[in-house]
Amino acid sequence: MKKYNVAVVGVGAVGIEMLRCLRQRDFPVGDLRVFARSSREIEVDGQKYSVEAISNDAFEGIDFALFAGTEGEKGAAVTFAVEAVKRRAVVIDNGADFRMDPNVPLVVPEVNAKDIKKHKGIIANPNCSTIQMVVALSPIYKKAGIRRMVVTTLQASSGAGRSAVEQLKEEVSAIAYTEFKEVQAQIKNKAMPQQLGFNVFPQIGGFTECDYTSEEWKLVKETHKILHDDKIKISATCVRVPVMTGHSESVYIETRKALEPEKAKDLLSDAPGIILIDEPKSGLYPMPKDIEGKDEVFVGRIRKDPYIKNGLWLWIVADNLRKGAALNAVQIAELLIK
C-alpha cells in the first residue's frame, strides 16, 4: 500500500485527537510530522511525538496537512495553508477561515463526498455542531426534503478548547466546597464568558446579525452550503453546557414530503456513520456520557409533531472532538486516497 506524508498542525485537543485517529484507523502514514508555534515533546496514548516549530518550508514533501483549528489566528492560518498548497500538499482545515469560501469545498464524507473533487488544494472541515446535524439529517433530506429546521445545541466545554475544560473542572470543584460568592475568585482558567460549572449559558461566539451568535450562523450557512440548498429555513440557539465532551442537539424539522417516524428510523438505521438508539420508554436514547471516544453520530427520540403536518423531532449526539473535528478531517484524507 502506498504511504503518504502527513502533517498535523496544532497540538490542542483536536490536534491530539487527529494523531489518535490516524493511528487507530491505520492511516497509511509514511512520514508523520507535528507542528505548533514552538517545539516540544508530547505523548498521546503512550506514543511520543516530537513537535516542530511551524514554518513555510516545513511543508516540503507533505501530501496531507491537517490543520487542527485556527480560529483567532486567521492571518497565520491562511499563510501556512497557502504555503502548504504551494508545496503540493492538500490542506484539510478544521478552522473557520475557509469554510464559506466559494472556492473551497466544505465536506462531510457521509453527506457530500462528491464535493471533494472540486478542491483546489484546500478542503474545509465544517463546524462540529454542523457535522453531526447534517450526518443525521442527510438521509431524511434525500428522501423527503426539508423545508425548515429549528435547532438547539447543547455543546460541551471541550468545544471551546482545553482551557475551557479546565475552567469547568475548577468551577465544579470550587462550587462543591465553597460558598458561591467565593468561587470566581478561585478560578484561574477563565476561557468562557460565563461560569459553566452547575450552569448553562446561551452564548457560543460573539453576537452578530439579528442578535444571533457566530456559532448559530455557522449552523445556518454551513448547512446550506453542504446540502447545496439555501432555501431551507434554519433557526438556531447554541448553548454551552457543563459537559466535558459530546455535543447534543434537539432538532425540529418540517419535511417537504410526509415521513412517518418509523420510516425515518429505518432510514437512519441503514445510513453510514449513524447509530440509532431510540427506546425512550426503557430509558434508551443517546447521551454524551456514553459517546465519548466513539466515531458515529447517535440519534434517538424521533417523534412526530402532533400539531404540525410533516413535523419531526430528533435528538442527536456525537463526540465533538472526533466526528465533529478530527475524525471528519481524517475521513476526508481517506476519501482523497480512494
> How confident is the model at residue 74, as a pLDDT?
52
- pLDDT tens track for 233-243: 999 999 999 99
Q: Do 176 and 300 have their domain in common?
A: yes
- 315 and 331 inside one domain: no
74 and 136 in a single domain? The answer is no
Quick one: average pLDDT of 270-283?
97
Number of domains comprising the chain: 2
Q: Which residues contact residue 146 at a Cβ distance below 8 angstroms, ignoring those fewer than 6 apart?
A: 137, 140, 232, 253, 254, 255, 256
Mean pLDDT of 55-67: 96
pLDDT tens digits along 215-224: 999 999 999 9
Query: Cα(236)–Cα(215) distance, rounded to whole angstroms?
Result: 9
289 plus 174 within the same structural domain: yes
Asked whether residue 66 falls in the same domain as residue 140, the answer is no
271 and 237 in a common domain:
yes
Integer-rounded Cα Rg, in Å, for the chain is 20
Instruction: Indicate if 225 and 140 belong to the same structural domain.
Output: yes
State whether 111 and 162 are in the same domain: no
Residue 202 shares a structural domain with residue 91 = no
Residues labelled catalytic: 128, 247
Whether residue 276 is predicted with pLDDT greater than 70 in this model: the reply is yes
CATH number for the domain spanning 120: value is: 3.40.50.720
Quick check: pTM over 0.85? Answer: yes
Q: What pLDDT is attached to residue 70?
A: 56
pLDDT, tens digit (0-9, with 9 covering 90-100), for 167-182: 998 888 887 666 555 6
CATH number reported for the structural domain that contains residue 215 in this entry: 3.30.360.10
Res 246: pLDDT: 97
Domain that holds residue 274: 130-319
Do 138 and 111 belong to one domain? no
CA distance 307 to 297: 28
84 vs 320: CA distance, rounded Å = 26
In this structure, the answer to whether residues 152 and 51 fall within a common structural domain is no
pLDDT single digits (tens) 113-124: 999 999 999 999
Q: Which pLDDT does position 73 carry in this prediction?
A: 47
The gap between the terminal CA atoms of the chain, to the nearest Å, is 12
Mean pLDDT, all residues of the chain: 94
Report, as an integer, the average pLDDT of 25-40.
Answer: 96
Per the model's pLDDT, the better-predicted residue between 79 and 200 turns out to be 200
In a shared domain, residues 169 and 72: no
Separation of alpha carbons 104 and 116, rounded Å: 9
